A = this chain, B = another copy of it.
Amino acid sequence: MRTVATVLAMAFGVPAAALTMAVPPSLTPDEGAALVRDRALAGNAAYAVVAGLTTDIGPRLAATAPEARARDWMAAKMTALGLAKVHVQTFAVPHWERGVETATTIGTNPQRLALTALGYSAATPDAGIDAEVVQFADLEALKATSQNLAGKIVFIDHDMRAARDGSGYGAFNSVRTVGPAIAANKGAAAYLHRSLGTGPARLPHTGVTRFPAGIPAIPAAALSVPDAMQLARMVRNGPVRLHLVLTPRDLGSGTSGNVVGEITGTTGDVVLTGGHLDSWDLGTGAIDDAAGVAITLAATATINDAIRAGTLPRPKRTIRVVAFGDEEAQGPLGGATYLKGHPEPVVFAVEADFGADRVWSLRSNFAAAAAPGPSTPVLAPAIAALARVLAPLGIAPSPLPAHGGTDIEAAVEAGAAVVDLAQDGAHYFDLHHSADDTLDKIDPAALTQAVAAYAATLWWAANTDANLRPAKAVP
């Protein structure tokens, strides 16, 4: 690719070497964004950050000692990368840990099924339970049934498919998040479901489930996709009884926390970015979400390096990067904690929590020049400018609205403009929340493309004069 430096040199008659001179040149926000984009493409810290978090620390379940060590690691890394005001915010979260988890069919041909407890699952007795499996086609069928489920193990299969935009997860994740509570409310002894996974590996995918007040928690677990298919075949052949042992423990209250660093701007406003530092306990949390932390941190460090090299001036707005605590179980608590501790207005936010693959789509909730109708979306001038900088990365603007993610939810609700740099999620749910979420699944070239997209977006957002007011029409 022709570098932006070369293009600028050609366009303005400036020698390319002059663009690394100590006195910051007068670049427009778009030109600066293109410059950091190309610096990121030439090399950045992201892969080393993912490799370090996954190799030195490994799984980082919220409230555990490894999560605490990850905070120390991350604060040291932010400091080493030259970020300012590096600090940790801690907050209390429930401390739940996995125990023994086995399921074995009862009968003349006992077979083990691979499964894993959902986060906040209750435990069976240590000796386990023996119960009959009752399969329902979907949650609607479970809700509608008048069958007596007392003492039964409810089993829900489904047909989640891989999609670039991860839409299958949206369609089916209630099977995990609310299915156990529905079954518990009907007196079931336990709940099993096919993992919310799209890959063929015989590894179950965990994730949080919720039991509303008044509904006692029951043991709840995800079967690997092959094992769910096996159980469904067995149920078709006749009644199936399972011996189920799940012994997770509720260890009371523990500590999670955010790690925060920044490039201090010249005004009081903040551009917020980050991913989450915690991970599920089965894998090493490479794509979920060491990658997101690494992409946003490396993007910030790329900008910081350019400033330290004298190639760019200090940004107008502070670029603040956060490695959020306990996203997986408590969700928006890390983002809310951030906001409570940092009163400076967040005018713009972009999160990375969808893996390590390439960014392919740019969405925003920016105000349009003219209010877009539902069937005639109008690309706001502001996003059009950003889109031009991202186009060489193969990223196209989308008329779909941005929603942000869990960790920036509080900031967006408080009025921040938000952009989604949508990464390709076709393989994300092959790995998500399973033991297969490991470093080897990450393509360094794809990670670098994402860093370039985030670096360009952060610089642009920190310096643009464009109107970033969120569109009222977007929820």
Query: A404 in the interface, Cβ–Cβ < 8 Å?
Result: no
A residues at B contact (CB < 8 Å)? 51, 54-59, 66, 69, 108-109, 111, 114, 200-203, 225-226, 229-230, 233-234, 237, 283-284, 434-436, 438-441
Provide the residues of chain B in CB contact with A69, threshold 8 Å. Answer: 108-109
Q: Which residues of chain B are within 8 angstroms of A58 by Cβ–Cβ distance?
A: 109, 111
A226 contact from B51, B108, B438, Cβ within 8 A: B438
Q: How far is the CB of A165 from chain B (nearest CB, A)?
A: 23
Cβ–Cβ contact B283 & A438, under 8 A: no
A340 CB to nearest chain B CB (Å)? 30
Which single member of B203, B436, B439 contacts A229 (CB below 8 Å)?
B439
> Is B441 touching A109 in the complex (CB atoms < 8 A)?
no
Residues on B with C-beta less than 8 A from A230 are 54-55, 284, 438-439
Contacts beyond the supplied A55-B234, A55-B237, A229-B440: 8 A-B pairs with Cβ under 8 Å = A56-B109, A59-B111, A200-B441, A201-B202, A202-B203, A202-B436, A226-B438, A229-B439
Q: Given A111-B59, A233-B55, answer yes or no on A283-B202 (Cβ-Cβ < 8 Å).
A: yes
Q: Which 7 pairs from chain A and chain B are nearest by CB?
A: A201-B201, A58-B111, A226-B438, A202-B435, A226-B440, A202-B436, A55-B233
- Establish whether residues B440 and A225, one from each chain, have CB atoms under 8 Å apart when the complex forms: yes
Q: Would you give the shortest CB distance from A101 to chain B, in whole angstroms?
A: 14
Shortest CB-to-CB span from A76 to chain B, Å, is 14
The answer to whether B109 touches A202, judged by C-beta atoms less than 8 angstroms apart, is no
Q: Given A203-B201, A203-B202, A230-B284, does the pair A57, B440 have CB atoms closer than 8 Å?
A: no
Bound together, the chains give a CA A284 to CA B283 distance in angstroms of: 24
Taking CB as reference atom, which chain B residue is nearest A229? Answer: B440
Whether B203 contacts A438 by the Cβ 8 Å rule is no
Per the bound structure, the CA–CA distance linking A296 and B350 in Å amounts to: 58
User: How many Å from the CB of A369 to the closest CB on chain B?
Assistant: 46
Q: How far, in angstroms, from A219 to B54 measured CA to CA in the complex?
A: 27
